[in-house]
Amino acid sequence: EIVLTQSPGTLSLSPGERATLSCRASQSVSSANLAWYQQKPGQAPRLLIFGASSRATGTPDRFSGSGSGTDFTLTISRLEPEDFAVYFCLQYSTSTRTFGQGTKLEIK
């Protein structure tokens, strides 16, 4: 089973700043089958990025994903107030999907 480790656990930033979130895999994620989701309290998770770098329909272009192999990054270029939420990564390259533990992005 591929273990995904996200860092940092909590990120405190101000609107307008740049956010960089990391997701590291315990073994290589083939075909960059890595996705990022955003989750707000009481809401269903929202798909942001799939294939490591492809934006899902409706994802603003301030969100970008990068990486391959075992190291992946979600970058939010300029934070908007609605971006403060929990973000988690998912690998779907193996038959047993696994998730990262999440990064909480909070307002500083």
Alpha-carbon distance 29 to 17, whole Å? Answer: 30
Name which of 46, 84, 77, 43 is nearest 62 in CA terms: 77
Query: Are residues 35 and 23 in contact, defined by beta-carbon separation less than 8 angstroms?
Result: no
Residue 22 interacts with another protein (CB under 8 A): yes or no: no
Question: Which residue's entry shows tokens 């696994």?
Answer: 98
By CB under 8 A, name the one of 13, 47, 73, 104 that touches another protein.
47
If one asks whether residue 69 binds another protein (CB under 8 A), the answer comes out as no
Candidates 11, 50, 65, 84; binder of another protein (CB under 8 A) is 50
Question: Site for another protein (CB under 8 A): which residue of 19, 23, 35, 76?
Answer: 35
Distance CA 44, CA 34 (A): 19
User: Which residues form the interface with another protein (CB under 8 A)?
Assistant: 30-33, 35, 42-45, 47, 50-51, 54, 56, 88, 90, 92-93, 95-102
